[in-house]
Amino acid sequence: MKASSNCDIVSGMTLIHRMIEAITAGDTPPKIPAAKVLLGVPACLYGAVGLLRSDLYRCGILKKKRLPCDVISVGNITAGGTGKTPMTLYLARLIQQWGYRVAVVSRGYRGKAEAAGGVVSDMSGVRMTADAAGDEPFLMATALNGVPVLVGKNRYQSGMTAIRQFNTQVIILDDAFQHLSLFRDLDLVLLDSMAPFGNRHVIPQGMLREPLSALGRSDALIMTRSIGNTIHPDIQGRNIPVFAAFHEPYVVCRIAAGEAAPSGAASPILNRLDGEKIFAFSGIARNADFVRTLEQMGAKIVGFRGFGDHHSYAAADIRDIVRAARAAGADVVATTEKDAAKCQKCFRFPLELVIIGVHMKFHNEKGFIRFVRNHLNSAILS
């Protein structure tokens, strides 16, 4: 009876989760209008509080702090993945190439260092584990050479640490569009070109973190996952610069069966998985996107395990993945770069492991680079 009860609870939770997902995506069946009402009331309150908070900062009743350097914010207006981490990496490398001393500051969501703050990586290497830093800051720290990454709920404090310790000229704030207490010189907002605003309702009735009027605070919109240099109709007509971008997947590394890390001399890695029988797993905002990415790379998906965003992997999770992969006849296990950071402790897979990352690319890269560079030049010289 106990096992049956547990299964019933899990099934019930799954149904509720699917129902909420359907509502936020705008696909709610007409049979459950009461659910819309139940979610609509807290959504109205959430939206009203967001508007009030924004107005208080705009009017100067709530004060913003200003860092003594140029600050670029990368954020979004919806819950879920729009490509903030690849965009932050792109900007950090770009600004570093121009000769500026740049650092990345992130909240460090769910990391042990989130409350107190700290330096994830300095000029010489990574100084924190993924558990301490949080999965995304750790990923950025390992991917960036010579660019310090810092975490902390108090981003002004983290920014001042970057300036004192590394003489930073430009700070990139990761996921900071709603972090209104810190002044920024350039506000970049990422929107998924396939569904920029979901059903146009705020959380929990929809995917919006705040009402659409908040886009008026942004300096530019970046439409990610764009097919061609086209702009979604919902964006056209807004008096804000808009850039179209897309995600380019690549193979970060391949780890041999039984190994904890790549071994041997570095060699060029083909960014195709043609015909490989792959069992995939991920714990990101939109797991289905990862499956589509692998298929686009030519993989034959024989099975998949999806987890919640920012999932912290335990050894039991890895054992379950391995059992399912073997049962499905997989030759290779694949996961995202973000998930790889979270399951380092359990990395010795008895099957080959391939880790997939994403580069941010622009359809009009010259235009975007010119936009950022012109802004940086004016901000730093002012």
> In the numeric block, which tokens belong to residue 8?
């019933």
pLDDT tens digits along 288-329? 999 999 999 999 999 999 998 888 888 889 999 999 999 999
pLDDT by 10s per residue, the chain, length 382: 343 433 343 334 344 444 455 555 554 444 455 566 677 788 888 888 888 999 899 999 999 999 999 999 999 999 878 999 999 999 999 999 999 999 999 999 989 999 999 999 999 999 999 999 999 999 999 999 999 999 999 999 999 999 999 999 999 999 999 999 999 999 999 999 888 888 888 988 888 999 988 999 999 999 999 987 666 666 766 789 999 999 999 999 999 998 877 765 556 678 899 999 999 999 998 899 999 999 999 999 999 999 988 888 888 899 999 999 999 999 999 999 999 888 866 667 899 999 999 999 999 999 999 999 998 865 665 5
Round the average pLDDT of the chain to a whole number and report it: 86
Contacts for 201 with CB less than 8 Å, ≥ 6 apart: 24, 40, 43, 207, 208
Exposure of 264 in the CB half-sphere (CA atoms within 13 A): 7
Exposure of 30 in the CB half-sphere (CA atoms within 13 A): 0
CA 291 to CA 297: how far, in whole Å?
10
> In the numeric block, which tokens belong to residue 324?
């399912």
Contacts for 206 with CB less than 8 Å, ≥ 6 apart: 23, 24, 26, 43, 197, 198, 199, 200
> In the numeric block, which tokens belong to residue 266?
């570095």
Q: Is 105 helix (H, G, I), strand (E, B) or coil?
A: strand
Map tokens 């990862």 to a residue.
Answer: 290
Name beta bridge partners: 280.
Answer: 304, 334
Q: Is 352 helix (H, G, I), strand (E, B) or coil?
A: strand
Domains and their CATH numbers in the chain: 70-246+362-381 (3.40.50), 258-350 (3.40.50)
